[in-house]
Amino acid sequence: MKLLVTIKDKDIRPDYILPKELNYNPRISPRAVLFDEDNKIALLHVSKHHYYKLPGGGAEKEEDIKSALARECLEETGCEIKIIGEIGQTIEYRAGWQTLQTSYNFLAKVEGKKGQTNFEGDEIDYGFKLIWVDLEQALELIKNSRPNDDTYDGKFIVKRDRIILEEAKNIMDNL
């Protein structure tokens, strides 16, 4: 899968001072630009922190990427999915959490009927809300997202997901 971007703290917080010792823990996370039957895509509004994000999340130990994506999409969108293509890979060096996150990003479509979301823990606390919008609107919502200053990961998410959506749009425009 081709590399779309590598994001580091200096890319989102130029004044960030790196810790003296860094020991990055790897995290693998699949994500989807998920289309429904009306060609709308799933987007999660993280209302407490004022930004939008794509569905997806961390793979569990011993879980393959595509199974993890199916599980995350079912939890966050209530939908079974079918992967229809690759978008690309993103890498994030999150020094503040000492995490090296590699995201594998896919185009997918909803299979069957839409169900109910199953948000848990932080997702509930952060006010996650699922919306379905066209690709252009999703790009605008991500571009205009302004995560709270105290939201370290939100700044990474917005930069990453904007690049993923721009690449997805490029792919869709060239089909």
Which is nearest to 80 in space by CA: 100, 38, 109, 104? 109
d(CA 165, CA 161): 6
What predicted TM-score, i.e. pTM, was given to this entire model?
A: 0.94
- For the cut 90, the answer to whether the pLDDT of residue 20 exceeds it is no
Q: Go through the chain and tell me how many residues it has.
A: 175
Number of Cβ within a 10 Å radius of residue 109: 18
pLDDT tens digits along 23-58: 999 999 999 999 999 999 999 999 999 999 999 999
CB 59 within 8 A of CB 135: no
The boundaries of the domain holding residue 61 are 3-173
d(CA 58, CA 101): 9
Task: Annotate 14-62 with DSSP letters as a single string.
Answer: TTPPPPSS--PEEEEEEEEEEE-TTS-EEEEEEGGGTEEE-SB-PPPTT
Q: Number of helices and strands (H, E) in the chain? A: 5, 7
What pLDDT sits at residue 151? Answer: 84
What is each CA distance from 12 to 41, 53, 98, 147, in whole angstroms? Answer: 26, 16, 15, 11
Q: What is the mean pLDDT of residues 60-68?
A: 95
List the CATH number of the domain containing 100.
3.90.79.10
CB 106 within 8 A of CB 30: yes
Question: What is the distance, to the nearest Å, from the Cα of residue 29 to the centroid of all Cα atoms in its chain?
Answer: 8
pLDDT tens digits along 66-119: 999 999 999 999 999 999 999 999 999 999 889 999 999 999 999 999 999 999
| Count of structural domains within the chain | 1
What pLDDT sits at residue 18? Answer: 77
pLDDT tens digits along 128-163: 999 999 999 999 999 999 998 878 899 999 999 999
d(CA 141, CA 128): 15
